[in-house]
Amino acid sequence: MSQRHWSSVVGVAALAGSCLGQTDSFHIMQIEQVIGDVNGDTTKQAVQLRMRSSFQNQIELGVLKAWDAAGQNPVVLVAPQAAVTNFTAGDRVLFTTTAFDASTTPACVPDLHMNPIPASYLAAGRLTWEDTFGTIYWSLSWGGAAYTGSNLGSLTNTINPTGSYGPPFATALPSASAQGLLFQGAFSDPSGPGGNAADYALTAGAATFTSNGRAAFVINLGGGCYPNCDGSTTTPVLNVLDFSCFLNRFAAGDTYANCDHSTTPPVLNVLDFSCFLNNFAAGCT
C-alpha cells in the first residue's frame, strides 16, 4: 500500500472516530432544572439534565459537581458508572437525593441517587456538568452578586464567545417551597447572551421532575393526599364527590385547594387542578 493511500485510510478512520464521538456521547447537555430543598429540608434535592441532541446518553463519561460561593471547594454530587437507556433529543436524566424521593407523586424513581449540594452552597454557588478531565460543558450559578466565582466553560453549549454562562441567577436556589429553578429555553437551546440570570426562572408552582424513562414526578408538600377531599372511607374512596369537594374549596378560596403549594400570586390557579388530577390518577388517598 502506498504512503498516500495509507494516509488517506488513516484520515478517514480518524474522521469516522470523531463523528462517532460527537454523536454518541454525553456533553451536548443542559442542566435543565434543580431544587436545593423541599419545604426547607436541605436533604431533599434534585438535579435534572436534558439532552440538547440525540445520542447523549453516555453519562458515565460525565461528572456533576457543586461549588461554593467563591467557585471553590468542588463536591462531586454524582459520577455515573453506566449509560442511560433513552437517547432521543430532549430526553432527560434525573439525579436525586434518597430523601427527595418520597416528596413527589408518585414516589420518585430517579436514574441515579446523588450526594446533596452542601447546605452552605445553596445561598450562592454553582453546578457544573463536566467530563472526567474537568472540561465544563454546562454551568449554572446562583446567588447574584454573592457568587464571586468563575462562570466559564466550554463553548459547546453557550453562544457567548468567551465561554461564559454568567451572570448568575439573581437569587438563591429555591427553598421552603415546592418550586424548582428551570431553564426557560427549548431542549435544543444553548445558554443565551444573558447567561444564567436570563436563562432560568422559578417554576410557577410545584416542580415536575422527569426521569430518563420519561416518568414524571410532581413535588407534593401536603403530607396528606388531596384527592380524597371529602374524607370518605366507603369503597371506592376516590370518586366524583372528591372532584366536587375540591371545586367547592377552590371556589371558596380555601388554601386547602393550593395543591401545588405555590407562593406566587394568585396561589390558586389552573396548576392546582393539574396537581389534583395527577394525585387522583396516582391513587393518592
Q: Are 261 and 285 members of one domain?
A: yes
Same domain, 267 and 202: no
pLDDT of residue 225: 60
Considering the domain architecture, whether residues 191 and 268 belong to the same structural domain is answered as: no
CATH number (domain holding residue 153)? 2.60.40.1260
Query: Given CA atoms 23, 154, 165, 137 in this order, what sign does their dihedral have?
Result: positive
Q: How many domains does the chain have?
A: 2
CA atoms within 13 A on the CB side of 12: 6
Q: Can you give the pLDDT at residue 147?
A: 98
Q: For residue range 100-159, what is the model confidence (pLDDT) as tens digits?
A: 998 887 889 999 999 999 999 999 999 999 999 999 999 999 999 999 999 999 999 999
Instruction: Look up cell 416528596; give the residue.
Output: 103
Same domain? 118 vs 135: yes
281 and 190 housed in the same domain: no
> Does 37 fall in a domain?
yes
User: Which residue range is the domain that position 234 belongs to?
Assistant: 222-285
How would you write the pLDDT of the chain (285 residues) with one tens digit per residue? 444 443 333 333 333 333 444 446 999 999 999 999 987 889 999 999 999 999 999 999 999 999 999 999 999 999 999 999 999 999 999 999 999 998 887 889 999 999 999 999 999 999 999 999 999 999 999 999 999 999 999 999 999 999 999 999 999 998 777 889 999 999 999 999 999 999 999 987 788 999 999 999 888 765 456 677 777 777 888 888 888 888 888 888 876 787 776 667 787 888 888 888 887 887 776
- Residue 174 maps to a domain: yes
Please tell me whether residues 157 and 242 are part of one structural domain.
no
Asked whether residue 182 is assigned to any structural domain, the reply reads: yes
Q: What is the pLDDT of residue 221?
A: 60
Same domain for 236 and 204, yes or no, is no
User: pLDDT value at position 131?
Assistant: 97
Grid cell 390518577 in the structure block, residue: 281
Buried b or exposed e, range 4-30, using 16+ CB within 10 angstroms: eeeeeeeeeeeeeeeeeeeeebbbbbb
Looking at the whole model, is its pTM more than 0.85? no
Residues 214, 240 share a domain: no
The DSSP bridge partners found for residue 236 are none
Examine the domain organization and report whether 165 and 280 are in the same domain: no
In the DSSP assignment, the letter for residue 61 is: G
pLDDT tens readout for residues 74-90: 999 999 999 999 999 99
In a domain, 74, yes or no: yes
User: Is there a single domain that holds both residue 254 and residue 188?
Assistant: no
Strand ordering across the sheet containing 92-96 = 112-113, 92-96, 46-51, 29-35, 181-183, 200-202
Greatest distance between any 2 Cα atoms in the chain:
86
* In a domain? residue 16: no
Q: Which of 219, 234, 268 is the endpoint of a domain?
A: 219
